[in-house]
Amino acid sequence: MKTPLQIAILAAGEGKRMGSALPKVLQPLAGRPLLAHVIATARSLDPRAICIVHGGDDGMLRRRFPEADLKWAKQEPPAGTADAVKCALPMLPEDGVTLVLYGADPLARAETLREVVRRAQQGALSLLTVELEEPAAYGRIVRDSAGKVVAIVEFKDATTAQRGIREINTGVMAAPTGAFKRWLERIDNRNASGEYYLTDSVALAVKEGATVEATRASSVMETLGVNSQRELAQLERLYQRAQADALLDAGVRLADPARIDIRGDLSCGKDVSIDVGCIFEGAVTLGDKVTVAAHCVLRNVSAGPDTAIFAFSHLEDAQIGARCRIGPYTRVRPGGSVLADDVHIGNFVEVKASTIGDRSKANHLSYVGDTTVGRDVNIGAGTIVCNYDGANKHHTIIEDDVHIGSDTQLVAPVTIGRGATIGAGTTVWKDVPGGTLALNQKTQLARNGWRRPTKG
């Protein structure tokens, strides 16, 4: 039977170098808080418990992550990583294996962490390490002549020779929970920082004769954490480039892989083409041969095969059918709009909470809100659905094969019957029967001898 796993996520750091009132672990990476990435990875390991160690954040973390599967422990004041894990252990089962992760280190792969856990389940103190060309101020992995790990030395406490070591500690480690408890009771703070270092558990494990094993991360990106806005921006670009490379490997054509942002899940069919400056948020699905032109934003959108989304369009919460033509400068607002096949929504058209049937068109300068539009409808330029009376929203129905002339106002609630025609400049405030022409009576005058006003 596999040894059960529990996870402690250390998230009590104040992040003073971020220069932000927002806790460090709530800073966004690819549209989600750093801590959200770590929690998602932790959950993928199927632990029986997750405990997040937080500090003086006025409850912001718990409000942001209210899920019932998360346990919380408070570390105040912060006194080092060993003290943080000591705070977490009473919230976790006493047996099994405990894996320690960090709330601002978001990109460790589940496959790598499973290897760290596997070695701990075999009784070892299991570390995640990485080799850096320039190790800077990270703790160094010290090995004996046989290559076995014997200690981790923090940079502040390292000798000149030890500072030359390139293999560094990432902070991620796992061990049998009972062993962690023993070591934590014996760790002191007699060091340059006056803190309780979790890394001191390595020397204690060696002294006990316990096995210490190290798993090398497959890439440096897995081990990177965030301590400043500069580091966060650098990590964002690394993350986005990795996302772009995955799209390229899957056959997506990117005009420039350095100019795309994916802040959620983007799924693409074959022969999809994406131009520069596009942002994808939430769950976005693009069917075969979809093209997305420059500087579009898509949030929770699905687009069917052969659909073209032209430049500077902003689409949210929309289902778009096949062979549609959207934009440029189209806005689909949140509200769950559904566009059927062969729909055209053009320049400076706004759609909200509406359903638009096959082959219908609103090509320019219109607002369609809270409306059901049938098939083969043409909505002329400047048409506005007046759906709001100042207190409530009302619904409009435009049946199949309706032609609406330019500069028309449809005052909801109203129904335009099948095959009706609305003359240009008409204000429609009551239902229009099918097959009829609706217009407002107008008189046009031409006055002889009239002069334009002049400036005094």
- CB-count burial class (<10 Å; 0-12, 13-18, 19+) for 424: middle
CA angle 193–36–246, rounded 5-degree value: 110
**Residues facing 261 on adjacent strands:** 279
Residue 159: enclosing H or E segment and its boundaries?
none
- Residue of 37, 54, 344, 364 marked active site: 364
From the list 326, 296, 331, the residue with the least C-alpha distance to 312 is: 296
List alpha helices for 95-149, DSSP H: 110-121
In 3-state terms, what secondary structure has residue 426? Answer: coil
Place of tokens 């390139």: 166
Residue 155: enclosing H or E segment and its boundaries?
none
From the list 64, 44, 43, the residue with the least C-alpha distance to 54 is: 64
CA distance 213 to 85: 20
Catalytic residue status for 395: no
DSSP output for 58-84: TTHHHHH---TTEEEEE--S---HHHH
Residue 95 tokens, joined: 């047996």
DSSP output for 242-307: HHHHHHHHTT-EES-TTSEEEEEEEEE-TT-EE-TTEEEEEEEEE-TT-EE-TT-EEEEEEE-TT-
Phi (first) and psi of residue 283, to 5 degrees? -105, 115
In 3-state terms, what secondary structure has residue 394? Answer: coil
Which residues are tagged catalytic? 364
